[in-house]
Amino acid sequence: MHSMTFSSPPPTTTIPRCKSLQRLPPVSAMASSPIAPPSRHHITHSMPHEKLEVFKSLESWVSENLLDFRKPIEKCWQPSEFLPDPSQGFDRSNEEVCELRQRVLGLPDEYFVMLVGNMLGEDSLPTYQTMINTWDGVRDKTGSSSCPWAIWTRSWAAEENRHGDLLRTYIYLSGRVDMMMIDKTTQYMIRAGMDNGTENNPYMGFVYASFQERATFMSHGNMARLAKEAGDPVLARICGTIAADEKRHENAYIKIVEKLLEVDPDTTMLAISNMMKKRIVMPQHLMYDGQDSNLFENYSAVSQRLGVHTTRDYGEIIEFFYNTMEIGKT
């Protein structure tokens, strides 16, 4: 790694690196245990066929309970609300861009490491929606299915899509990073996909989703705190707003797992146990920019150092998960 200031000309790496990072011990995953997760055996379609009926029987419950977690589009925030407004004319719009760039001058390079990493996680939404649509019993069979499970997945994806759009535009306008490398890294990530070990099994998939949504809620929330302390209240509001979305989505996925514990406790407990044994991997675990084969490890080290998401957080999420689900009382 080498030191850089992120001024013009742009850096040649996706995630800015500093000499000080060379001394950081690698962390295997931003929200994982410090030991690298075991290799997957790529088990597929592990849910017994007869369990399909469980998810079919829950469709009315999804309509009556889960879809209420959606926000009406007309009441949703949109990325343009947080960004310079070009409709005000060139001069005023240019002033707002200059104001943005002035605000971010106080942000350390490492904060942009986290912003870019969080943005990449959000920008890989096509991978996540594809992953959910591999889960037996809840997939969107047509691409626009009226099945309540499919409606929820599309609604969730539509809300999540705003996160990456907003972060990407803010980062672009900051002038602090090499956007060409970010674009390449996004393409590499989506092409690589992800391996979260859910085995096409919705029991395991919804456990993963509830855990992961809480992890992203914490990560964006901590970035909001750091941005505020560094003197960028707009970025703090952006990260806090995204965190609020993640929290609402976390509540939705937790509600699904709680319902599964109610209707099929044995299979759900087995799914929870299996996912905890595998350890939850972050969606960005296959992050690559075409140059740095240790990009995710470097990103994770910065996250650990800044306290954005740490191994302690991983343990706290597990404890929260078990307490919320009242596991052991089912």
Determine, yes or no, domain membership for 308: yes
| Helices 148-174, 179-192: inter-axial angle, 10-degree rounding | 160
Distance CA 284, CA 190 (A): 10
User: Domain range spanning residue 97?
Assistant: 59-325
Distance CA 10, CA 151 (A): 42
Nearest to 184 by CA among 295, 57, 33, 330: 295
160 is in an annotated binding site: yes
Assigned token pair, 10: 């742009």
Percent of the residues in the chain that have a pLDDT greater than 90, as a whole number: 82
In the predicted structure, residue 25 carries a pLDDT above the cut 50: no
Distance CA 121, CA 127 (A): 10
122 is in an annotated binding site: yes
Determine, yes or no, domain membership for 11: no
Determine, yes or no, domain membership for 42: no
Q: To which residue do tokens 């997945």 refer?
A: 153
Can you give the CATH number for the domain in which 125 is found? 1.10.620.20
Task: Return the exposure string of 96-125: e unless at least 16 CB atoms fall within 10 Å of the residue's CB, then b.
Answer: bbeebeebbeebebbbbbbbbbbbbbbbbb
Q: Looking at 13, 14, 110, 122, which residue is catalytic?
A: 122
Tell me what pLDDT residue 124 has.
Answer: 94
The pair phi, psi for residue 256, each rounded to 5°, is: -65, -50
Determine, yes or no, domain membership for 208: yes
In the predicted structure, residue 207 carries a pLDDT above the cut 60: yes
Determine, yes or no, domain membership for 194: yes
pLDDT tens for residues 217-261?
999 999 999 999 999 999 999 999 999 999 999 999 999 999 999
The pair phi, psi for residue 24, each rounded to 5°, is: -80, 135
Helix (H) or strand (E) holding 199: none
CB atoms within 10 A of CB 287: 26
Average pLDDT over all residues of the chain: 88
Tell me what pLDDT residue 10 has.
Answer: 37
pLDDT tens for residues 178-197?
999 999 999 999 999 999 99
Instruction: Give the Å distances, CA to CA, from 307 to 201, 211, 219, 223, 284.
Output: 33, 18, 9, 9, 18
Q: Of the given ranges (5-14, 43-52, 273-282, 287-296), which has the lowest mean pLDDT?
A: 5-14
Determine, yes or no, domain membership for 51: no
Tell me what pLDDT residue 329 has.
Answer: 60
Determine, yes or no, domain membership for 21: no
CB atoms within 10 A of CB 70: 18
Q: Of the given ranges (164-173, 196-205, 279-288), which has the lowest mean pLDDT?
A: 279-288
Q: Looking at 123, 178, 232, 245, which residue is catalytic?
A: 245
Tell me what pLDDT residue 41 has.
Answer: 59
H runs (alpha helix) in the chain: 52-57, 59-61, 90-104, 109-123, 125-132, 148-174, 179-192, 202-229, 233-263, 265-278, 295-306, 311-325
First to last CA, the chain: 50
pLDDT grade for 5, boundaries at 50, 70 and 90: very low
Assigned token pair, 103: 């605000």
pTM (two decimals): 0.87
Contact 157, 126 (CB under 8 A): no
Catalytic status, residue 160:
yes
In the predicted structure, residue 4 carries a pLDDT above the cut 80: no
SS3 161: helix
Q: Looking at 61, 77, 165, 183, which residue is catalytic?
A: 77
213 is in an annotated binding site: yes
Percent of the residues in the chain that have a pLDDT greater than 70, as a whole number: 87
Into how many domains does the chain fold?
1
Catalytic status, residue 77:
yes
- DSSP per-residue codes, 41-72: ------S-GGGHHHHHHTHHHIIIIIGGGS--
pLDDT tens for residues 89-101?
999 999 999 999 9
The pair phi, psi for residue 88, each rounded to 5°, is: -80, -5
pLDDT grade for 40, boundaries at 50, 70 and 90: low
249 is in an annotated binding site: yes
Q: To which residue do tokens 């104001």 refer?
A: 99
Determine, yes or no, domain membership for 112: yes
Q: Looking at 246, 289, 297, 313, which residue is catalytic?
A: 246
Distance CA 33, CA 37 (A): 8
